[in-house]
Amino acid sequence: MSVLSKKISGPLQPGSRRDPIESIQDKMEQLLSRMRLDWNGDAGAVLPVVPPIDIAEDETSLTIRVDVPGWKPEELDVEVSGDQLRISGQRTEEKEEKQQTWHCIERSQGAFSRVVRLPATVKEGQITADCQDGVLTMMLPKVEASKSHKVKIQGLSRPR
């Protein structure tokens, strides 16, 4: 048994009914719970999750979908600069003034920012964005690719 496995699960006791995998899961859950705390140690502040992004391309445009469940359109910001797309969001904590004992706070709050490189040049002024059912969908029309042209080289003919 390695030193790491001894530290995580501890020695198995004879007659113990505790599964060592279950013990590792408990330790991991404790570790992840500690990682959720903000840097000030506030147990109620959960760090927001960076939302997943899907990018699809066809001949004329890019389609980008971002999962943002529970986020309002006014809490989101989208910027395109060159070949980069930046999606960010800011949400403040909702608290009622009633005295309550919180047992679990997992809904994301605070800010996130995500930058992705676009696989094609887009027409920045023609981008559309719509947020419905927790999915932000953006249509980014692509700039037409420049076509190559054969250039005839001019020159003086010299007699041989």
pLDDT along the chain (160 residues), means of 10: 41 55 76 56 54 92 93 92 90 71 73 89 93 95 81 76
pLDDT given for residue 122 in this prediction: 93
pLDDT given for residue 156 in this prediction: 75
Contact (CB, 8 A) for 32 and 24 = no
* Residue 94 phi, psi (nearest 5): -95, 120
For residues 33 and 70, membership in a common domain is answered with: no
> What's 58's domain CATH number?
2.60.40.790
For residues 91 and 128, membership in a common domain is answered with: yes
pLDDT given for residue 144 in this prediction: 84
pLDDT given for residue 20 in this prediction: 77
β-pairing verdict for 61-67 and 135-141: antiparallel
150, part of any domain: no
Helix, strand, coil distribution of the chain in percent, nearest 5: 20, 30, 50
Provide the token pair at 66.
Answer: 């971002």
For residues 22 and 61, membership in a common domain is answered with: no
For residues 88 and 23, membership in a common domain is answered with: no
Whole-Å CA distances, 138 to 53, 55, 65, 99: 11, 10, 6, 41
Q: How many structural domains is the chain composed of? A: 2
For residues 122 and 61, membership in a common domain is answered with: yes
Provide the token pair at 96.
Answer: 């009622």
Give the range of the structural domain holding residue 41, as residue numbers without chain letter: 18-46
* Residue 28 phi, psi (nearest 5): -65, -40
For residues 27 and 90, membership in a common domain is answered with: no
For residues 41 and 67, membership in a common domain is answered with: no
pLDDT given for residue 11 in this prediction: 47
β-pairing verdict for 110-117 and 84-91: antiparallel
